[in-house]
A and B are shown apart, each in its own frame.
Chain A
Amino acid sequence: MSQLFLQAQNLNIWNGENGTPMLWIKILFGLALGVGLIFALMAAPTQTRRPVVAFVTFIAGLFYVLYFFWPRPIDRQPGELPNDFVETVSFYIDDAFGVVTDFTAILSGFLLGLGIYSLLHVHVKRIVKTSQNWFFSVVLLVSMFTMTIVGYWDWITRRGEAGASLDDPANWTTVNRMKDLMFDGMLQAMDAAMFSVIAFYILSAAYRAFRVRSVEATILLATALIVILSLMGAVEYLWNGMVDNITGGDAGSVMNNLKLTEISKWLRDTVQQAAIRGIDFGVGIGALAMGLRLWLSLERGTGGGN
């Protein structure tokens, strides 16, 4: 079992040479095991569902908890063997770490398809039933499939011998230009435009809602004003210049504390940071508590219940 996580180069029961029939047989065997597991779980009694989910959640979390609390190997050399049980476990956790971390990335990758599936489901249904605005669903699906095909095609061209030369646009073929047009010319531009629309809403909201109606609103407004003014280098220069006129350029004068740079710095380092830190600590404690509850399946809604 330890050979699995050691990712050893020598051949053993857990691996096989690339392209060999033996490896493919093992892969098919593994796939059959996995499918069998699904069928077994589908046939499992209702009362075992919650324990199954709680168990996998606990084991998954236990790995990182052990990684944090178990003594780490000190100055481990390649090929070094463990001396005792504690070192054996620490070596095992160390070797398994990279593999387990990959499990998260891989599973997340597979689950990304859920979103794509939902999108397809909604829009294909709209087209089939010719619901209102079904034309836009056609537009979405055409864009999606075109981007997918062109994206993969472009990727394939870059994997060959010409891969590095395609960094230079002068060497681009039609498919490379199509992908650049769709990705850089359209997708990126639209992404940026979507984000920038919020600026208009902020201005409108500030005009309509940012009113001095209460103590809290006044404090918020005043602080926002000071921060905004401190972001304006020209205003800072003029304000500081006024203070310099008062102090006569004396660097040691107490009045220098009235400079906009000093006021905003004090506000930022003393009050703003402390306030945000307070919020952070509160959120952090909540996240820690939530993490523990999720790990131990104490949170309502976790587990296998419907």
Chain B
Amino acid sequence: MSLGEKLMSIPKWVLYLILIVIASVPLFIKIPVPNTPLEPAIDLYGTLMNIPEGSTVLIASDWTKSTRGESNGHFDSLMKILMRRNIKACIYSSGDPQAPQVARDAIGVLNMERKAKGQKTYDRWNDWITVGYFPNAEACANAIANNVRVAFGGKTDYSPDGSSRDVFQSPVLKDIRKVSDFKLMMVITASKTSNITIERVYGKGVDLAMMVTGVMGPESLPYYSSGQVKGLAVGLKGVYDMEQMLEGGITPAMSSKWGTVPGFPGEANIGNGTRYYPTLHFCLALLILAVIVGNVGMALSRKKAA
């Protein structure tokens, strides 16, 4: 077997084993990685930091633990900003029946962190509510765009005394009459619900922003470019960008548009982005190496055949 043929016939299990090792070992080592946040993520952070305190945002949490690596990081960085700036959140899901429970669990974890630091917890009913899962994303987005009170009508959540009450009795939603009363609508998704929301809610007077997984990134960027969304975080890079800005804020060197926007230095800003981003480098390097090896093998084989 020539060198070229050998290079082209590495067994699959060898590749898989190398990938497992590459994806595991760097997790044990703290590797600081320099990073320049992308413009869409900077705009997202700036938009979130400019929401007035005490107002309410609407969050479409359409992710589950199947995309925890990226979406959990997105959700956590969003909720950290909302918690720290006393912004209320109304959370709904239309992408997956598991999504409401996953969002509740994630907030629970963040609340435990806040409790451990002696900070006020982000309380259900007073600071955030969940209106549950809607099986038809198109219908849900339509209903929200037309009349939020009807869309979420009949939905209940738990008040502090343990009773199940109409969500519009909650401090989170009591002043909400229409979708434009929300200061922002954020879509965190791994599926097409981002497109569905743009199609039906855009132009109804509420600013839109998105945090999407890598797969949805390229098709979501045109919405950012055309101004349909105010900010966009894509994939693990987006998570890392947000965590960096949570720590250091925005500086004039990063963005002349926003100037200086403060971060939250010293707070619990480290999340999945900081943990996984260095390891991603090694995995991507392996992919590039695999492609190079395959092509070199092909070139050598062709040369020998010629």
A and B touch in the complex (CB under 8 A): yes
**What 18 new A-B contacts, CB under 8 Å, besides A203-B286, A207-B291?**
A97-B143, A109-B135, A158-B158, A161-B162, A164-B161, A188-B98, A195-B66, A204-B15, A207-B10, A207-B290, A231-B237, A233-B33, A234-B34, A234-B281, A237-B35, A272-B218, A273-B225, A280-B219
Q: Helix, strand, loop or mixed for chain A's interface?
A: helix
- Docked pose: A75 CA to B188 CA in angstroms: 32
- Chain A residues within an 8 Å CB radius of B248: none
Q: Mark A199-238, 1 if CB is under 8 A from B, else 0.
A: 1101110111011100000000100010010011111110
Given the known inter-chain contacts A159-B164, A164-B159, A280-B219, please indicate yes or no for A188 contacting B291, CB distance below 8 A.
Answer: no
What are 11 A-B residue pairs whose CB atoms fall within 8 Å in the complex? A98-B147, A101-B146, A101-B150, A104-B136, A187-B98, A191-B66, A192-B65, A208-B294, A233-B33, A234-B281, A272-B218
B163 at the binding interface (Cβ < 8 Å): yes
Kindly list the 5 A-B residue pairs having the minimum CB-CB distance in the complex, ordered from nearest: A98-B150, A233-B35, A188-B65, A104-B139, A164-B158
Which one of B41-49, B75-83, B100-108, B258-266 is at the A interface? B100-108
Given the known inter-chain contacts A211-B295, A212-B295, A233-B277, please indicate yes or no for A189 contacting B65, CB distance below 8 A.
Answer: yes
- Docked pose: A275 CA to B229 CA in angstroms: 19
- Chain A residues within an 8 Å CB radius of B35: 233, 236-237
Is there an interface contact between B66 and A192, defined as CB atoms closer than 8 Å?
A: yes
Name the interface residues of A84-108: CB closer than 8 Å to any CB of B.
94, 97-99, 101-102, 104-105, 108
- Chain B residues within an 8 Å CB radius of A228: 284, 287-288
Q: Mark B43-68, 1 if CB is under 8 A from A, else 0.
A: 00000000000000000000011111
B196 at the binding interface (Cβ < 8 Å): no
B118 at the binding interface (Cβ < 8 Å): no
Query: Nearest chain B CB to A221's CB is how many angstroms away?
Result: 7
Size of interface on B: residues with Cβ below 8 Å to A: 68
- Docked pose: A228 CA to B214 CA in angstroms: 12
- Docked pose: A137 CA to B159 CA in angstroms: 42
- Chain B residues within an 8 Å CB radius of A13: none
- Docked pose: A233 CA to B273 CA in angstroms: 12
Is there an interface contact between A97 and B150, defined as CB atoms closer than 8 Å?
A: yes
Is there an interface contact between A97 and B146, defined as CB atoms closer than 8 Å?
A: yes
Given the known inter-chain contacts A101-B143, A200-B19, please indicate yes or no for A163 contacting B36, CB distance below 8 A.
Answer: no
Q: How many A-B contacts at CB < 8 Å in the complex?
A: 165
On A, residues with C-beta under 8 Å from B are: 94, 97-99, 101-102, 104-105, 108-109, 112, 158-165, 167, 183-184, 187-189, 191-192, 194-195, 199-200, 202-204, 206-208, 210-212, 221, 225, 228, 231-237, 240, 261, 265, 268-269, 272-273, 276-277, 280
Q: Which of A98, A162, A203, A269 contacts B162 (CB 8 A)?
A: A162
- Docked pose: A208 CA to B98 CA in angstroms: 36
- Docked pose: A269 CA to B33 CA in angstroms: 25
- Docked pose: A272 CA to B136 CA in angstroms: 31
Q: Mark B263-294, 1 if CB is under 8 A from A, else 0.
A: 00000000000000100110111111011011
Is there an interface contact between B64 and A221, defined as CB atoms closer than 8 Å?
A: no
Name the interface residues of B196-252: CB closer than 8 Å to any CB of A.
218-219, 221-222, 225, 235, 237, 240
- Docked pose: A261 CA to B253 CA in angstroms: 14
Is there an interface contact between B291 and A195, defined as CB atoms closer than 8 Å?
A: no
- Docked pose: A272 CA to B219 CA in angstroms: 10
Q: In this complex, what residue of B is CB-closest to A67?
A: B146
B181 at the binding interface (Cβ < 8 Å): no
Is there an interface contact between B221 and A276, defined as CB atoms closer than 8 Å?
A: yes
Query: Nearest chain A CB to B15's CB is how many angstroms away?
Result: 6
- Chain B residues within an 8 Å CB radius of A276: 218-219, 221-222
Is there an interface contact between A164 and B294, defined as CB atoms closer than 8 Å?
A: no
Is there an interface contact between B135 and A112, defined as CB atoms closer than 8 Å?
A: yes
- Chain A residues within an 8 Å CB radius of B283: 199
- Docked pose: A189 CA to B284 CA in angstroms: 24
Name the interface residues of B131-166: CB closer than 8 Å to any CB of A.
134-136, 138-140, 142-143, 146-147, 150-151, 153, 158-164
Query: Nearest chain B CB to A62's CB is how many angstroms away?
Result: 15
B16 at the binding interface (Cβ < 8 Å): yes
- Docked pose: A164 CA to B121 CA in angstroms: 15
B124 at the binding interface (Cβ < 8 Å): yes
Query: Nearest chain B CB to A18's CB is how many angstroms away?
Result: 13
Is there an interface contact between A192 and B225, defined as CB atoms closer than 8 Å?
A: no
B12 at the binding interface (Cβ < 8 Å): yes
B110 at the binding interface (Cβ < 8 Å): no
Is there an interface contact between A191 and B65, defined as CB atoms closer than 8 Å?
A: yes
Given the known inter-chain contacts A164-B162, A272-B218, please indicate yes or no for A232 contacting B12, CB distance below 8 A.
Answer: no
Q: In this complex, what residue of B is CB-closest to A103?
A: B139
- Docked pose: A237 CA to B281 CA in angstroms: 13
- Docked pose: A58 CA to B136 CA in angstroms: 20
Query: Nearest chain A CB to B109's CB is how many angstroms away?
Result: 11
Q: Mark B1-44, 1 if CB is under 8 A from A, else 0.
A: 00000001010100110010001000000000111100100000
Is there an interface contact between B19 and A273, defined as CB atoms closer than 8 Å?
A: no
Q: Which of B16, B65, B67, B161 has the most CB of A within 10 A?
A: B65
- Chain B residues within an 8 Å CB radius of A97: 142-143, 146-147, 150
